[in-house]
Amino acid sequence: MNFTTALLNASEMAEADRLTVNAGTSVSALMENAGRGVAREVVRRWSERRVSVLCGPGNNGGDGFVAACYLANAGWKVRVALLGSRVALKDAARYHAEKWRGEIESFSPDAIDSAELIIDAVFGAGLNRPLEGSAKTTLAVAAAQSIPIVAVDIPSGVDGDTGENLGAVASALTVTCFRKKPGHILFPGRALCGELVVSDIGTPVEVLNQILPTTFENDPDLWLSDMPHLQQCGNKYTRGHALISGGYPMTGAARMAGRAAARVGAGLTSIAVSEIALPVYACALTSIMVMPLATPRDLDALLSDSRLTAFLIGPGAGVGEATRIRTLAMLATHRATVIDADAITSFEGDPSALLRAIVGPCVLTPHEGEFKRLFDPAGDKLSRARRAASQSGAVILLKGGDTVIAAPDGRAIINSNAPPTLATAGSGDVLSGMVLGLLAQGMNPFLAAAAAAWMHGAAASEFGAGLLAEDLPDLLPGVLRHIRGG
């Protein structure tokens, strides 16, 4: 995959540093570049003022000493406090601490008295235990006094691998190096980072070819080359035929999903419904075909049509045995299937029955509550999604403001462009319909799920306040034009 948006966990970042050092760049030089980058971003955003730099006992603290030197040399009034003693610092961190000619104060709230800006260089992304002691107290005082905080790498107390809050307070700005980390993108970490800047410290991008990251921030660069393209000699069937199992009396969900599937390019989109629901669907849909099912056997006959290329069940389907049967029938075709909403909940009492039936391309699109009905909820979001994908053999699209798309082979993409306006009834139904439409055209399930999630967020951002889920499908042509360059 394209490594432009790769996210590196703590161990991968350490390996990137090791490979960089082996290639001839010293740790001291990397630290110099990192601290200078922090100072540069501070000067870009704030006028000269009193700043307290809080340094930790490791390399993050070394970055802080470098930033302090640069700001002091630029005429800023700088105070430095160190967690621990200077003699306990090691190697490059100690070298840069010794270049600081001012006083090094004890780490306490007194060190930020009268400060107008604080640089948090206490702990980096490797911290995986709760923040405590004077570090926790001092940062809490800064937050209580509304003093802007600039975090070096990641706010102290945010787990860089998971985004978990281990006692952190919110920063106004976070300056990290080389590549973002999952904790910068996953909540609650993302909300604590403030503005996020990635600084170039001289790490060669070639190290990624050795690290081979498996986690990415969602971006068209990851999947645009795999998006379906129109062919001059094509027809509606070559563009795929998407089929949705429509429910009753909750008919709006399937109808919105159908419009979304059609808008992302499916050549035909059909909704199979019970005869009692036929008038409701038929009067509300024009280009979406409605197929009546008089008996359960009618669905089997419909699914035998080889021209159908992808299926969706769940939106408005109703929870129960009938939905279970339809889901298993779709999976039995071994064709691409999206399972959402009520179809997921229908297997709450027997998740293994669903997981055993997944043998073809499949995307599960649960929100957190639905996820818990099928899978173990223990652990952070990224780990849970990966574990569920491995267990099920399906692509897992675990929805939220930080949607995680996980593939059975261990790759994962975190979506970060979803605005809060998507927290509205029916937006998930539109998303599942978008995945369906891309699968119907033959797109890889993992990339289709990622593309749908990104375009879903882009469409909502384009609309702005007042968004209704039913607005989303008609915004998709504009998003498609944008990502394809018109």
pLDDT tens per residue across span 372-408: 999 999 999 999 999 999 999 999 999 999 999 999 9
Residues 6+ away with beta carbon under 8 Å from 480: 264, 265, 455
Helix/strand/coil for 223: coil
Contact 149, 155 (CB under 8 A): yes
Helix/strand/coil for 254: helix
Average pLDDT value for residue range 20-41 = 98
* pLDDT tens track for 70-125: 999 999 999 999 999 999 999 999 999 999 999 999 999 999 999 999 999 999 88
Contact 240, 257 (CB under 8 A): no
Contact 296, 466 (CB under 8 A): no
DSSP string, 91-130: HHHHHHHHT--S-EEESSGGGGTT-SEEEEES--TT--S-
What are the chain's domains?
3-213 (3.40.50.10260), 220-483 (3.40.1190.20)
Q: How far apart are CA 364 and CA 314, in angstroms?
A: 10
| This prediction's pTM | 0.97
Best CA proximity match to 80, nearest among 60, 93, 97, 59 = 97
Contact 137, 109 (CB under 8 A): yes
Look at residue 486 in the predicted model and tell me its pLDDT. Answer: 64
Best CA proximity match to 310, nearest among 366, 367, 360, 247 = 360
Q: ∠ at Cα 173 (170, 177), nearest 5°?
A: 115
Strands across the sheet containing 173-177? 104-106, 77-82, 50-55, 117-121, 149-152, 173-177, 195-199
Look at residue 485 in the predicted model and tell me its pLDDT. Answer: 86
What average pLDDT does the chain have? Answer: 97
Strand ranges for 122-221 from DSSP E:
149-152, 173-177, 195-199, 215-217
Residues 6+ away with beta carbon under 8 Å from 55: 61, 62, 64, 65, 68, 80, 81, 82, 83, 97, 121, 122
Best CA proximity match to 122, nearest among 152, 91, 159, 162 = 152
Q: What percent of the chain has pLDDT over 90?
A: 95
Look at residue 230 in the predicted model and tell me its pLDDT. Answer: 85
Q: How far apart are CA 346 and CA 364, in angstroms?
A: 13
* pLDDT tens track for 220-238: 999 999 999 888 888 898 9
Average pLDDT value for residue range 254-277 = 96
* pLDDT tens track for 6-24: 999 999 999 999 999 999 9
Q: How far apart are CA 192 and CA 25, in angstroms?
A: 32
Residues 6+ away with beta carbon under 8 Å from 3: 205, 208, 209, 213
In terms of DSSP bridges, do strands 336-339 and 310-313 run parallel, antiparallel, or are they unpaired? Answer: parallel
Q: Is 443 left (phi over 0), alpha (psi -120 to 50) or beta?
A: beta
